[in-house]
Structure 1
Amino acid sequence: MSDQRLSVVVTRRLPEAVETRLSELFDAKLRESDAPMSRDELSEAIRSADVLVPTVSDTIDAALLGQAGDRLKLIANYGAGVDHIDVSTARQRGILVSNTPGVLTDDTADMTMALMLAVLRRIPEGLAVMQGDTWEGWAPTAYLGGRVGGRRLGILGMGRIGQAVARRAAAFGMQVHYHNRRRLRPEVEKALEATYWESLDQMVARMDVISVNCPATPSTFHLMNARRLKLMKPEAVIVNTSRGEVIDENALTRMLRSGEIAGAGLDVYEHGTKVNPRLRELGNVVLLPHMGSATREGRIEMGEKVIINIKTFDDGHRPPDQVVPSML
């Protein structure tokens, strides 16, 4: 690259330490508002920048990429998931895409366990009673939940996060089962004490808890559809800290309302911020606002990965976390 500093446009507010470092290294245009960029603002950004730093809240589709001139050369995504970016079209236009894998593994796995505990032990109900100042004291049959230890956990997607969930679940005394596009190596499977199911249908039908930890791809869209949700035991619960599109949210809502599924813990939703209003009304559901990666440490480490990807690209090398269509 030339001596002139790269023009880097950041679409959202990032931790102060990350923004400071971006400004030191590049000609960084930072976001003053924490609101997502409008379509017009994104269009202007991809026309004017050498590097775009978007987040999951930005849809970088083929139509938008079609407006990019010759200047945009790298989309350095702030986050691991890239389903909001048309990676194939970007590649066709000579635009590299990078992400930040691995950084949020433990944070997301922690939140998965937190949701499991919240649903099984009815924690939100207890919180509501205490905050409403209506507690009348301990009672033998009040707020009875279910014991975590001994339950069968079925993990859907056994990548970094799925394996981190498996290790935590084992410490809680759960029996770990999993379904994955590819079976784990025998030594990894043994270390995790995890049982592989080639048939997702058969696994779903036998589990007490399902944890969704697979990425959003065309092949995982509505992987947990109405038919598959109906295979779950009535006393089973489902937790999703991955992507909302993996579950048919309307079907899930119907089954939670009718008692065909005992409960759900959701951190992500099929239509982004447009959460099914009927879900909000259900007492057997714990809803969180996409908090799985929300730790100070994780968000700063994400920023550091973005900076490394941009700096490596600026030095004329392949970004270490480059994403190619074959990975998706």
Structure 2
Amino acid sequence: MAKILSVLYPDPVGGYPPAYARDEIPTITGYPGGQTTPTPEAIDFTPGELLGCVSGELGLRRFLEDRGHTYVVTSDKEGPDSVLERELPDTDVVISQPFWPAYLTAERIGRAPRLKMAVTAGIGSDHVDLPSAIAHGMTVAEVTFSNSISVSEHAVMQILTLVHDFVPAHDWVTTKQGWNIADSVSRAYDLEGMQVGVLGSGRIGQAVLRRLKPFAVTLHYCDVHRLPSDVEEELGLTWHPDVRSLASVVDVLSIHTPLHPQTQNLFDDELLGAMKRGAYIVNTARALIVDRDAVVRALNSGQLAGYAGDVWYPQPPPPDHPWRTMPHEAMTPHVSGSTLSAQARYSAGVREILECWFDGRPIRSEYLIVDGGGLAGTGARSYTVAG
């Protein structure tokens, strides 16, 4: 029998919800491109429930305990006395989320001789030290596409929030109890007619491009894998061979590339300085793709007109993190991929992965990041490891 450790975000401040705003969520059976949604043998939750927090348990407890496994769920993941540190040495499977990641460093993996698999409930496995996972003979998997559309919708929302300067206007009528029209519109613009680009045209990047096309903007993208010509023609896309070419021409840039050694701190003072004065950046990918303090400097100098996103480093960030107080921001906690709709899919996907692993059946290749001693499946296309 196996021991499974889930590291999930804490319950709501007011307690686990006794009821929800809606009675149901739409049933989604497939994604753009033909991939089907998760297909576990069964689920033990009602879609639309809060599953990603400690009390939600990803809806897995009955399934795991009925099979005789031990299931430990915690939000305590930091420091030498944390539940994560105490439970890890004899754990077989760690389940984590990008929103509240259990950072599986080389040191932690080295202290976990029984650890065989790390599963991301959602998308993005950069919180796992992939070279160490490979050396350890682990499998790393994530529920690909489960929350891609959720993130793309959030990114479009934040683009509009920045360009229309929504946050200060909202503050005037709520926190400040005012009606200051001039103050509210002095930094507000229309998105129509702007040059808008995405860095990374995978599932999320393409979904953002498709959602932005009706806004009558000119669309640009940069990706090492160029899109088919018919897609470029359909969306009116201009491809850029490198990030500097893209960044220098757009008014709005949305980041959707994975974090790996080539993208870490990519947006430094030099690259931000090459952008148009008054450009906007939305980052729903990973915080370390941008230089934290360079972003603050660019906002303070006016080089950037606004920065938004829902990814931070570390997660959660400390109280004195400068992004909490920098000007012209529209930051959220890492929530874009954890809507109740997305939770139903990624929880079902985790169960599907576990069913396959326990029963000795192949895990879908689109879910695999590391397997068989190297990058595999989606991981082979999305990640790099130092050789």
Task: Look up the match of 1:10.
Answer: 6
Task: Look up the match of 2:368.
Answer: 322
The more displaced of 280-289 and 225-234 is: 280-289
Matched, 1:165 2:231: no
Task: Look up the match of 1:62.
Answer: 106
Task: Look up the match of 1:83.
Answer: 126
Is the 2:95–2:120 Cα contact (8 Å) retained in structure 1?
A: yes
- Secondary structure of 1:264's partner? strand
Is the 1:119–1:286 Cα contact (8 Å) retained in structure 2?
A: yes
In 2, the alpha carbon distance for the partners of 1:157 and 1:276 equals 31
Task: Look up the match of 1:126.
Answer: 169
Is the 2:77–2:85 Cα contact (8 Å) retained in structure 1?
A: no
Task: Look up the match of 2:221.
Answer: 178
The more displaced of 187-196 and 270-279 is: 270-279
Task: Look up the match of 2:90.
Answer: 48
The aligned length equals 322
Task: Look up the match of 1:291.
Answer: 335
* Aligned CA distance change for structure 1 residues 250 and 275 (closer, same or farther; 3 Å): farther
Is the 1:179–1:200 Cα contact (8 Å) retained in structure 2?
A: yes
* Aligned CA distance change for structure 1 residues 133 and 235 (closer, same or farther; 3 Å): closer
Is the 2:220–2:240 Cα contact (8 Å) retained in structure 1?
A: yes
* Aligned CA distance change for structure 1 residues 191 and 38 (closer, same or farther; 3 Å): farther
Matched, 1:114 2:110: no
Task: Look up the match of 1:237.
Answer: 280
Which residue identity does 1:110 align to in structure 2?
E
In 1, the alpha carbon distance for the partners of 2:107 and 2:339 equals 34
* Aligned CA distance change for structure 1 residues 189 and 45 (closer, same or farther; 3 Å): farther
In 1, the alpha carbon distance for the partners of 2:151 and 2:319 equals 20
Task: Look up the match of 2:318.
Answer: 274
Offset, 1:25: 4.7
Task: Look up the match of 1:226.
Answer: 269
The more displaced of 264-273 and 91-100 is: 264-273
In 2, the alpha carbon distance for the partners of 1:39 and 1:73 equals 22
Task: Look up the match of 1:302.
Answer: 346
Is the 1:109–1:164 Cα contact (8 Å) retained in structure 2?
A: yes
The more displaced of 120-129 and 265-274 is: 265-274
Q: What RMSD in Å do the two structures reach over aligned CA positions?
A: 2.3
- Secondary structure of 2:178's partner? coil
- Secondary structure of 2:238's partner? strand
In 2, the alpha carbon distance for the partners of 1:25 and 1:188 equals 46
Question: Percent identity of the aligned residues?
Answer: 24
In 1, the alpha carbon distance for the partners of 2:93 and 2:76 equals 20
Which residue identity does 1:81 align to in structure 2?
G
Matches within 5 A, 1:243-262: 243-262=286-305
Offset, 1:310: 1.2
Offset, 1:37: 5.5
* Aligned CA distance change for structure 1 residues 35 and 65 (closer, same or farther; 3 Å): closer
- Secondary structure of 2:248's partner? helix
The more displaced of 133-142 and 158-167 is: 133-142
Offset, 1:86: 1.5
Deviations 1:210-229 (A, max 9, x none): 11111111111011121110
Offset, 1:268: 1.3
The more displaced of 140-149 and 168-177 is: 140-149
In 2, the alpha carbon distance for the partners of 1:141 and 1:300 equals 38
Which residue identity does 1:9 align to in structure 2?
L
Q: Which runs of 5+ in 1 are unaligned?
A: none
Task: Look up the match of 2:41.
Answer: none
